[in-house]
Amino acid sequence: MSDTVHMDAFQTNLHGTRILCQGPFVKGKLPPLTDNIQALRAPFKRKVLLTNTPFSFNRVLQFHYDAIFQMREGADWSLALTYILHAPKDVLVIAEDIPIPDAVWARLTKNITFIHIVATPLRTIQPYDTIFFAPIDDITNTYTDTVLKAISTVYKKTYTQKDLREILQELRVAKAGLAWTKVEEVSDTSKGLTGSLYWYDPDTTVGEELSKKQLSELFQWLSLQFT
């Protein structure tokens, strides 16, 4: 990482927090989530996937999930929340490209780590404690506007496009990503700052190998596409 960017490397432990991964992410350029969500004294006893796909295959975080819910209507949220809230703690929840109802956030306790992975911008990002942005290869593309809007919302209202472009240019050269967090941070209200910005090196080994069940469901789904 270049020394000309005056930010530290992301090292905050995010266990028990709400994390947004603002994509789209490409293979080999994922945030280092696995190391940052672990807690030695509170291991995950359940891992839950909330998805909109017809099979239990997560494109970004490939864990061995204890429960998988296909989210299509309000009743699915009731079922999923019942399982999550009554499951042995601690619980890791991965939500993939689905909208999160506002009422859900108040139900999440500190022994639930919630990771929301999206490919398109969200209208509301205030519920999240941390946001990882996908590494940017071209600072002129529209994704830069998505990052600027988010940073202006959660970090500093007066953050300018010039400020961001200077940082993104350095990150692009270093092949690193940008992250914001308010976890374990002291906000500087005199400067209008909430949380801090960090850089991260993309992780190419996020998750675990696919289970036999996941592979079986994937092949079943693929076979249906050709019948």
pLDDT tens column, 26-54:
876 789 888 899 888 889 999 999 998 76
Strand order in the sheet with 18-22: 67-70, 46-51, 91-96, 112-118, 18-22, 130-133, 177-181, 196-200
**In terms of Cα–Cα distance, which of 109, 111, 102 is closest to 45?**
111
What range does the domain containing 52 cover?
18-225
Q: Which tokens in the block code for residue 166?
A: 């200077």
**Among all chains, which residue has been given the structure tokens 């830069």?**
144
Asked if the structure places residue 52 within a domain, the reply is yes
Q: Which tokens in the block code for residue 109?
A: 């306790």
Total number of domains in the chain = 1
DSSP 45-107: SEEEEEESSSSS--SS-B---SEEEE--SHHHHHHHHHHHHHSPSSEEEEEES-PPPHHHHTT
Asked if the structure places residue 171 within a domain, the reply is yes
Asked if the structure places residue 6 within a domain, the reply is no
Asked if the structure places residue 9 within a domain, the reply is no
- The one-digit pLDDT tens for each residue of the chain (227 residues) are 444 446 899 999 999 999 999 999 887 678 988 889 988 888 999 999 999 876 555 556 778 899 999 998 889 999 999 999 999 999 999 999 999 999 999 999 999 999 999 999 999 999 999 999 999 888 878 999 999 999 999 999 888 888 898 899 999 998 899 999 999 998 777 778 899 999 999 876 555 555 555 566 656 666 666 66
**pTM reported for the whole predicted model:** 0.85
Asked if the structure places residue 10 within a domain, the reply is no
* Predicted local distance difference test score (pLDDT) of residue 204: 67
Judged by DSSP in three states, 29 sits in coil
Amino acid in the structure at residue 217: E
Asked if the structure places residue 12 within a domain, the reply is no
**In terms of Cα–Cα distance, which of 206, 179, 213 is closest to 22?**
179
Burial class (CB in 10 A: 0-12, 13-18, 19+), 3: exposed
Q: Which tokens in the block code for residue 155?
A: 């970090």
List b or e across 107-116, with b for residues whose CB sees 16 or more CB atoms inside 10 angstroms: ebeebbbbbb
For residue 128, the tally of other CB atoms under 10 A from its CB is 25
Per DSSP, helices labelled H in the chain are: 33-37, 74-86, 102-105, 143-154, 161-174, 212-225
Beta bridge partners of 92: 47, 113
Asked if the structure places residue 64 within a domain, the reply is yes
